[in-house]
Amino acid sequence: MRDAVSTARRSPSIRDILIQAAIWSAVSLVALAFFWLLADLLRHGAQRLDWAFLTALPKNAGRDGGVAPILVSTLLIVAIAMALAAPLGLATAIFLSEFTRVGGRLARWTSLSLDVLAGTPSIVFGLFGSAFFSAFLGLGFSILSGGMTLACMALPILIRATEAGLRMAPGEWRLGAAALGVSRATLLWHVLVPAAAPSLAAGLMLGIGRAMAETAALIFTSGYVDRMPSSLFDSGRALSVHIYDLTMNVSGGDQNAYASALVLIILLIAANSLALWLSDRMFGQRITSS
């Protein structure tokens, strides 16, 4: 009798099987969509992608040549966006999770503002960046204007992800630190922030992905110019804008558009891998040593 009961407990029910099948189906569909997209890009753009394409200047309105200045402009724009968004996002997330009362008026209004910003269309950010950074601050169409605009777009995602990671830390850690006389700054730097490192890395990856793939906001801020930038105040064309221009405005630019899209995907994968590595390297060792 006992063996029969244990056997019945071990055998999965039809409901469990259906749930597992649904989960695996969803995962398979997501993976299939990604690999289908990647295969299509490889089929159309891999033959054009080589070292000369990455280091040459665009020619004939982008139909020929490479993407060297466009690649440099993209990296500069993303670097500015992340350099501004990461410290601001981390500081705001710490403020919301550690220095505001849950359910308080300040926390509610700040959370509402973040939710509204996260759902704001990119074209609105582009108009704001054009009016404030380009016109009011006098930066014009520049890499700096584009990077600052993308920082505003990435901030809500980064703040929300980091805040969630900080709130997941057990309250006993804070009580134990207070009982031991540990300062709040030490608790944050050596315990809470390393514990929230995966969430911070996830927010960085989402922010980098949105920044690299953005088109509408950069058209109004960083511009269309496809020459090599000499400073952050020069106009620069990002890869996403370049792909849009080759596809919509340049006849015969499809092959270079596919190759540029493939470069963009490679950059996204490299940036995400770098964010994960830095998270494990910088914060993983600190929480282990502490």
1 in a domain, yes or no? no
19 in a domain, yes or no? yes
Residues 18 and 112 in one domain: no
User: Where residue 11 falls among pLDDT bands split at 50, 70, 90?
Assistant: low
Residue 177 is part of a domain; what is its CATH number?
1.10.3720.10
252 in a domain, yes or no? yes
pLDDT at 3 over 60: no
Residues 124 and 248 in one domain: yes
Range of the domain at 215: 51-289
Indicate the burial class of 248 (C-beta count within 10 angstroms; 0-12, 13-18, 19 or more).
Answer: exposed
Please indicate whether residue 78 or residue 199 has the higher confidence score (pLDDT): 78
CA 10 to centroid of chain Cα atoms: 42
Residues 115 and 31 in one domain: no
Residues 114 and 166 in one domain: yes
Residues 169 and 203 in one domain: yes
Residues 24 and 121 in one domain: no
Average confidence score pLDDT of the chain: 83
Query: How many whole angstroms separate alpha carbon 164 and alpha carbon 87?
Result: 16
Summarize pLDDT for 200-228 with one digit per residue, the tens.
777 878 777 777 778 888 989 998 888 89
Residues 87 and 159 in one domain: yes
pLDDT at 5: 46
User: Domain tally for the chain?
Assistant: 2
Q: Is the pTM of this model over 0.85?
A: no
Residues 24 and 162 in one domain: no
Residues 250 and 174 in one domain: yes
Summarize pLDDT for 142-186 with one digit per residue, the tens.
999 999 999 998 898 888 888 888 888 777 887 787 787 777 778
